[in-house]
Amino acid sequence: MLVTLILTTALLARFGSEDFFHALTFPGRITGAVLLAVALTTLLGAAGVLDHWVRHCFPYSGLVALIGSFAALLTNVLVLVGTVRDGDSKWYPAAFAALAVGSAWAALTVWRTTVLIPAPKRVAAAVIVSSIIAVANFGYQNLYVPYQRETRPLITLSMGKAVLSKDRKAFSVPIDITLQNHGSVGFYVLGTEFHAMGLRVPLSRKDRLRQQWRDDAAQWTKSSEVNPLSRREVHQPGELVEAQPWMPYGQWIESSDTFSTRLVVQMPMNTPYDQVAFYATASLARKDRLVLQPPLQFMGNSWGGGKTSGQVKQDQKRGVDSLIYRARVHENNAFDEYTRDARFVTVYWKFGPQGASVMTSVARGGEEDRVLTPAQQRELVSRYGLVDLIAGPHVRTLWDIKSER
């Protein structure tokens, strides 16, 4: 019994102190405080066991030992459920399973001895209330928090007035991009991209046939661009004009903060395009769901001949190149940090003739290619607070500019 209660005290004090001082959320800090309180209770329970069987100095030592054993049993069972459900380690579930069995045996053994209970109803009420608090905290942390209402920043993209060059052979279009975080939590910026697509949209001399509309609609499933079904416009696949990041990797935007930048796209007057479409995207992660260990380091590219994932190789075969960045991530609470294997966030900055994009994944080392089920993907997004933001397309017709001489 002493070994069980002392080991329970040590483990709960370790996890509780780290959560109390370092957890990323208020519920996490509350969990840490509860674990520290339980650790103190189990420590007193160990002292009660020692006095109840050996020293016989305190008349209520049996009651103290019983309360400490029951608190250890309840907490060990709840922690065991959490480590089995979310953890990767085999040692921690085995340890807490052994401690749960030992706590149950300790509580039953103490109960069978002559335990003096001064106010049975009050003690029972206190035990029931503390059990409800422990179970409610566990449920709140593991059931409600992962599915609480999400918060999302907002990207706005606006175009300024086009400006001609002095020789009137080129023009530029200023693009303003703003990232606004009106939520209550900050976000890590894992990757951003801005790209402009040139569009050829000639006009048909006569009304287009119904079969041509069907052919246009069939292309919607094959491309990220969705061109309208038009009676006269003949939309052709867009071509990449320009692409670049618009915010540094690994930075963050705090709650109620705003980031703004201006980019300029330059094109020749004799450009063959009739329209240009602008897009801005960002891949973010909530700061209360993970800790991003700096730096978000450049790891290589798809064409450099180094070791790359199978998905990157498949993308390159269809003309899409990638820049790859990676960083270690830490969990937002002590239990997950110790019971789960190390995770890494990988950012793929992709570009090709048909556009650009940013894709992120969080996985164990060597599992970047693992294909997740929809349920696993939702769980991953919820656990780490992954958010993808998209602004666009914002389309600018070029006829008025090209007509100026």
In this model, does residue 135 exceed pLDDT 70? Answer: no
Q: Amino acid identity of 153? A: P
pLDDT value of residue 262: 96
DSSP helix/strand/coil, 124: helix
The pLDDT-based confidence of 30 (bands split at 50, 70, 90) is confident
pLDDT: is 318 or 130 the higher one? 318
pLDDT value of residue 310: 77
Q: Which of 111, 97, 156 has the alpha carbon at shortest distance from 278? A: 156
Q: How many CB atoms lie within 10 A of CB 88?
A: 14
The pLDDT-based confidence of 386 (bands split at 50, 70, 90) is very high
**Residue 349 DSSP class:** E
pLDDT value of residue 134: 57
Q: Can you give the pTM of this predicted structure?
A: 0.82
The CA-atom distances, in angstroms, between 70 and each of 37, 101, 170, 225 are: 14, 11, 79, 61
The per-residue pLDDT for range 80-118, each reduced to its tens digit, is 888 888 888 889 999 999 999 998 998 888 777 765 455
Tell me what the pLDDT averaged over the chain comes to: 85
pLDDT value of residue 147: 47
Per-residue b/e over 245-270, b at no fewer than 16 CB within 10 Å?
bbbebbebbeeeeebeeebebebebe
The per-residue pLDDT for range 265-306, each reduced to its tens digit, is 999 999 999 999 999 999 999 998 999 998 999 988 888 776
